[in-house]
Amino acid sequence: MLLHLLLSWLISALSIWIVAQIVPGFQVSGFATALWAAVVIALVNGTIGFILKILTFPLTLLTLGLFLLILNALLLKLSAAFVPGFSIRGFLPALIGSILITVLNWVLRSALM
């Protein structure tokens, strides 16, 4: 159980670090910062994100789920505000970054777990 949690954390941090290398405007100062960013993103998604997803469910339903992309980008941008060395300049890098992080997490978890 603990090993699974540790591996998930490392995969998330690796995904964040890879996205920072690819997406202009998405910056992480190093892998240690990516590790902290993964923790903060998980906490923000588990608290504020959970509440916002419940409150915006009708809008998400109306847009056939596309609003979740916007909400995830906003939550990612909010997370960046709490981590020194992690910044996202603009909404488009946050949107692209959130999509890529999700895809990379899925691919890496499929390959490693």
What is the overall mean pLDDT for the chain?
Answer: 93
- At residue 27, what are phi and psi to the nearest 5 degrees? -120, 135
pTM > 0.85: yes
Estimate the share of the chain in helix, then strand, then coil, as percent rounded to the nearest 5: 80, 5, 15
Q: What is the pLDDT of residue 44?
A: 96
Q: What is the pLDDT of residue 64?
A: 93
What residue ranges of the chain have pLDDT lower than 50? none
